[in-house]
Amino acid sequence: MKPLFRNSFLLLLLLIGTTSLSAQQTATINRLLKVEPRQYFADRDSAYLDPYYGLKKLIYGNRRFAENKSIKPRQTDADLKNNELGQKPFATIIGCADSRVPNEIIFDQGVGDLFITRTAGQVMAEASYGTIEYATAVLNTRLIVVLGHESCGAVQAAMKLPENPPGHVVTLINAIKPASLYAKKVGGDDKETLDLAVRRNVIEQVNELRGLEPVLSRQFDRGEVLIVGAVYNLHTGAVEFIEETITSLPKFQEGLTADSEK
């Protein structure tokens, strides 16, 4: 291969790779949220006031991380020590306890930006519910993201349905079992089935929170709190928000209803 052709070919591969990382959200999500190509920053204060803008801030932050352009905002020793007066996180992340998914790093956010609760398979119970409600009722955090991830061990365990899981692991398996059965019914090879189960588990957890009385269901129905789902790719570092959890948000549902009535 001639040097000039080889260099052009390598440049093309680089551009393709960069584009694939930047285009993790669907065209529909980009249009609804007005996500701009080659944009990497969104204002923090606006993200706190407007949860739809907060989604863009998470998308742009993850774009920086996935493309090795992280700025690591508000992560100095001084930032860690100067928060004694309180916190105003703009988003709550319900994530998996997997050590490969550090939320502030993959979204390139700083101290005080994210309110996080993590369990294996992001399975929730009463303590999790109270934690999430605290963020919305006391901290006025208006954006909730359920974040699953590729190759989730808890979901894998639910797929295998072991006969005698140790201790309280059975509670995790039982919580994820509906997503596991759904994926098996759809079928596919092992990876496809696991990926579908991970995604389905996130969707069911989003629906669980949207229907949770008395706090979250009413706030979500009034459009005061957004509850959406996403999946993190361990290989690329990209977070893909699940389209159906975005298009079903009250603001966009109202828009669809208005369009249909014209």
Domain count, the chain: 1
Q: Is residue 2 in a domain?
A: no
Distance CA 89, CA 136 (A): 10
Q: 91-111, pLDDT tens digit by residue? A: 999 999 999 999 999 999 999
pLDDT computed for residue 257 by the predictor: 53
For the cut 50, the answer to whether the pLDDT of residue 186 exceeds it is yes
> What are the tens digits of pLDDT across the range 149-178?
999 999 999 999 888 888 899 999 999 999
Q: Which has more confidence, 44 or 3?
A: 44
In percent, the amount of the chain with pLDDT more than 90 equals 76
> What is the reported pLDDT for 12?
37
Residue 7 falls within a domain, yes or no? no
Range of the domain at 130: 24-261
Residue 101 lies in a domain: yes
Angle between helices 190-210 and 169-186 (to 10 degrees): 120
Residue 222 has pLDDT above 60, yes or no: yes
Residue 83 lies in a domain: yes
Q: Does a structural domain hold residue 6?
A: no
- Whether residue 15 is predicted with pLDDT greater than 80 in this model: the reply is no
Extended strands (E) in the chain: 91-96, 114-119, 143-149, 226-232, 239-241
Higher pLDDT, 225 or 10: 225
Q: Is the pLDDT of residue 89 over 80?
A: yes
pLDDT one-digit tens code per residue, 27-76: 999 999 999 998 999 988 899 999 999 999 999 999 999 999 999 998 88
CA 112/CA 108 separation, integer angstroms: 12
What confidence score (pLDDT) does residue 256 get? 56
> How confident is the prediction for the chain on average, in pLDDT?
88
In this structure, is residue 5 part of a structural domain? Answer: no
In a domain, 11, yes or no: no
> In percent, how much of the chain has pLDDT > 70?
88
User: Would residue 103 count as lying in a domain?
Assistant: yes
In which residue are the tokens 């409600």 written? 133
Beta bridge partners of 145: 93, 228
- In this predicted structure, what is the pLDDT of residue 55? 97
Nearest to 17 by CA among 191, 238, 232: 238
CATH of the domain at 113: 3.40.1050.10
Looking at residue 11, its pLDDT comes to: 36
